[in-house]
Structure 1
Amino acid sequence: MTTNTAYPAAWLELRADADAAARASGLVAALRAHLPGPPLLVRDLGCGTGSMLRWLAGRLPGPQRWILHDRDPALLAVAAAAQPEHAADGAPVAVRTERGDITELRADDLAGTSLVTASALLDLLTAEEVAGLAGACTGAGCAALLTLSVAGRVELTPADPLDAELAAAFDDHQRRTVHGRELLGPDAVEATAAAFQRGGAAVRRHPSPWRLGESEAVLAAEWLRGWVAAAVEHRPDLEPAAEGYLRRRLSSCAEGALRVVVWHEDLLVLPAEG
């Protein structure tokens, strides 16, 4: 399988600060207490431009080796060029990239891995792919920190009568079938947690919402365009009303009057002891 959703580096970089602010940093303390001794081997799946590496490496102690996995060579090049130099205690951080299909990773491929990470990935997978990921991690006995999965909930202030209908259409679009693959979309967190728990792992969940206001107006506007476009792609009958809606919302955004909360969830998975 190769996921068919490609994200340009510009969009990933635009959202990087909001992602960093949203991630559930409290889960990192729990993770640190359960990681094996150094050096750590961390595999970041669907790494994009390396935002997870930049956010997490400096929060973990000891020497670290990161392997960044992605299918897009251009994104891998960006990620490799923006690597942190030091861990939380000043220890070195080494980074290399690996191009390939992350859904084909199995327990043997993760042998020796301390931690698997991913960001904004789970909702792009199918139930079978999530089960494969859970099986690989539990089989290898490694922890996982899986962040920023869409939760199927957005809040826009001030409210608009079309908000709920567009939100429902967007969620259905996230659950669409792509080349025979039924994406999980907002059902991904529940499915992933269940898959890991079936393998005996302990799972902690924590909300990680984007909170976009006047200072995040550029990101909010770009998110709005994509959100409405996806909803209309799934429900073409919404297009006439959606055009006016988007104009109103973008105008409010430009004026600094729009507030958006986009809900996500983070998962911390700890392997069964013994």
Structure 2
Amino acid sequence: MSTPGFAPEWLALREGADADARSTALVDRLVEIHLNRDPLVVRDLGCGTGSQGRWLGRRLGGAQHWVLHDRDPRLLDLARSGVTGPGVTAETREGDLTALTAADLAGTSLVTASALLDLLTADQVRGLAGACAGAGCPALFTLSVVGRVEFAAAEALDAAFEAAFNDHQRRGGLLGPDAVDAAAAAFGELGATVTTSPSPWRLGPGRAALAREWLRGWVGAAVEQEPGLADEAPDYLRRKAADPRVVVHHADLLAVPS
């Protein structure tokens, strides 16, 4: 069993929790910066169905043009129709967002992404930081996992499942829970001012469906990584599903070029 991935149904299920979790303090800092406007050109990397645009666009205000990047044409179609508002236009770009260069980002006011950094390698993060620095544009990355989960009904097995899940996130050289620290270092080395902020999901009975779906993916990935947990997993999953109160920790990062 694997994590839910990028199915539109999963993205729709998590959109409300994402919106509640993202750091508004970093956006407040961002709007204080004199951005290249008329219109504001925002590149949304790994845009999914466009939830970042729906959340961030109304906070930035003014005329905006969104360039939506993703590898999945189904998601791009949904994103293009979903990022709307007075003075807001959008276009889509299908392809590998990790190959973007400073030249590709020329004229960009802001690079943003949600739940992306932990899916990249260290080299990819350094490349992205270099592209942003070369183009002189700030970057706002939200909802990167940091590897910590807190259950209201805590038990001894939580640590074993958490560790196995985190190792699963790091498979194939991906950064997983180390992504925010790696990105902060990469942007900092290029002279950017980096600010991070917690952005935890706080799930409970009001978001029980999301909690259950997240839990199935979290436990499934842990077992895939550490098969020795398989015997414990069914009863563990039942116990956790009976009490959906959980805090899933993430972090947001804002990098502003010098």
TM range (shorter): over 0.9
Report the 3-state secondary structure (helix = DSSP H, G, I; strand = E; otherwise coil) of the residue aligned with 1:44: strand
Structure with more relative contact order (C-alpha pairs < 8 Å, separation 6 or more): 2
Q: Tell me which residue corresponds to 2:248.
A: 262
What are the superposed Cα offsets for residues 41-89 of structure 1, whole Å, 9 maximum, x if unpaired? 0000000010000001101122110000000000001111212213xxx
Q: 1:148 aligns with which of 139, 143, 148?
A: 143
Residue 37 to residue 78, structure 1, CA distance change in 2 (3 Å): closer
Q: Tell me which residue corresponds to 2:84.
A: 84
Q: Tell me which residue corresponds to 2:180.
A: 189
How many angstroms apart in 1 are the aligned matches of 2:135 and 2:161? Answer: 41
Amino acid in structure 1 at the alignment position of 2:63 = P
The question of whether the paired residues in 2 share the 8 Å contact of 1:173 and 1:231 is answered with yes
Give the superposed CA RMSD: 1.0
TM-score (norm 1): 0.91
Figure out how many residues of one structure are paired with residues of the other and give that number. 254
Range with bigger deviation, 199-208 or 75-84: 75-84
The question of whether the paired residues in 2 share the 8 Å contact of 1:150 and 1:186 is answered with yes
Q: Tell me which residue corresponds to 1:163.
A: 158
Q: Aligned-pair distance for 1:6?
A: 4.7
TM-score (norm 2): 0.96
Residues 1:7 and 2:2 are matched in the alignment = no
Q: Tell me which residue corresponds to 1:89.
A: none
The question of whether the paired residues in 2 share the 8 Å contact of 1:58 and 1:84 is answered with no
Range with bigger deviation, 35-44 or 101-110: 35-44
Report the 3-state secondary structure (helix = DSSP H, G, I; strand = E; otherwise coil) of the residue aligned with 1:109: coil
Amino acid in structure 2 at the alignment position of 1:135 = G
| Percent of aligned pairs sharing the same letter | 60
Gaps of at least 5 residues in structure 2 are none
Amino acid in structure 1 at the alignment position of 2:26 = L
What are the superposed Cα offsets for residues 97-127 of structure 1, whole Å, 9 maximum, x if unpaired? 1101000000000000000000000000000
Report the 3-state secondary structure (helix = DSSP H, G, I; strand = E; otherwise coil) of the residue aligned with 2:143: strand
Amino acid in structure 2 at the alignment position of 1:44 = D
Residues 1:213 and 2:192 are matched in the alignment = no
Q: 2:219 aligns with which of 228, 236, 239?
A: 228
Matches within 5 A, 1:1-274: 6-34=5-33, 35-86=35-86, 92-177=87-172, 182-250=173-241, 252=242, 257-272=243-258
How many angstroms apart in 1 are the aligned matches of 2:136 and 2:10? Answer: 34
Gaps of at least 5 residues in structure 1 are 87-91
Amino acid in structure 1 at the alignment position of 2:127 = G
